């Protein structure tokens, strides 16, 4: 069954080409599988690279962009569907509700904020969709160390590491999404941390 896959990523054009290669490969694989890309609607950086790769391989692109960024040179105007929201909060809500799965390519503060929020929403049972962190070139390794520290210090339960999947392989990321089975997280993970 074809899916709508939300991709979070950088809008920077100054980053290493290895990240652009990953974005292009991801876009191609999404299109080849018949899935739809849903993303932040940007023209530049990894955002634009992923969208162009989807289109170059015959796929569909949905962009979701706030009014303030819906300007020439920023927005990817050739989206098959472009949703313009009033602000960032509505943008994220639209992306969350319309997506079947989430992938984080490397990115800056906005990408980190998006991936952390979607993990938190899953932890709090607002959704039970697959989340993949694409650790290209070990970009997310230090963040993942911080996640480990959060669990080790009992700010979250060990089960929280199951909220997301980490890989540096595009094919593995999409296979995880295809084979994902929603799971019951049991009791609330935030309130059930036992004291030593």
Q: What percent of the chain has pLDDT over 90?
A: 92
Q: How many CB atoms lie within 10 A of CB 10?
A: 23
Residue 196: band (very low, low, confident or very high) from pLDDT cuts 50, 70, 90? very low
The pLDDT tens digits of the residues spanning 120-165 come to 999 999 999 999 999 999 999 999 999 999 999 999 999 999 999 9
Does residue 100 have a pLDDT over 70? yes
Instruction: Please report, for the chain, the start and end positions of each structural domain, with discontinuous segments joined by +.
Output: 4-139+159-179
**Alpha helices, H only, the chain:** 17-32, 45-56, 88-98, 109-123, 141-152, 170-179
The pLDDT tens digits of the residues spanning 172-194 come to 999 999 999 998 765 555 555 55
Does residue 12 have a pLDDT over 50? yes
Is the torsion defined by CA of 192, 193, 195, 196 positive or negative? Answer: positive
Across the chain, mean pLDDT equals: 94
pLDDT value of residue 192: 52
Does residue 167 have a pLDDT over 80? yes
Q: How many CB atoms lie within 10 A of CB 151?
A: 15
Residue 43: band (very low, low, confident or very high) from pLDDT cuts 50, 70, 90? very high
Is the torsion defined by CA of 190, 94, 79, 178 positive or negative? Answer: positive
pTM for the structure as a whole: 0.94
Name the 3-class secondary structure at 92.
helix
| Helices and strands, number each (H, E), in the chain | 6, 7
Class of domain 4-139+159-179: alpha beta
């Amino acid at each position: 069954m074809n899916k709508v896959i939300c991709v979070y990523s950088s809008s920077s054009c100054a980053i290493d080409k290895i990240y652009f290669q990953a974005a292009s490969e991801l876009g191609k694989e999404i299109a080849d599988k018949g899935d739809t890309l849903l993303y932040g609607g940007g023209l530049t950086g990894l955002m634009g690279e992923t969208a162009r790769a989807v289109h170059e391989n015959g796929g569909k692109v949905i962009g979701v962009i706030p009014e303030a960024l819906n300007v020439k040179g920023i927005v990817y105007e050739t989206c098959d569907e472009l949703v313009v929201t009033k602000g960032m909060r509505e943008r994220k809500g639209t992306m969350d509700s319309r997506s079947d799965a989430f992938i984080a390519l490397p990115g800056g503060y906005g990408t980190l904020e998006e991936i952390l929020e979607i993990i938190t929403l899953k932890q709090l049972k607002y959704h039970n969709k697959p989340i993949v962190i694409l650790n290209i070139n070990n970009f997310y390794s230090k963040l993942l160390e911080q996640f480990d520290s959060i669990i080790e210090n009992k700010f979250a339960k060990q089960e929280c590491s199951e909220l997301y999947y980490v890989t540096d392989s595009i094919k593995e990321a999409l296979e995880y999404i295809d084979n994902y089975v929603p799971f019951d997280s049991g009791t609330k993970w935030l309130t059930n941390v036992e004291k030593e």
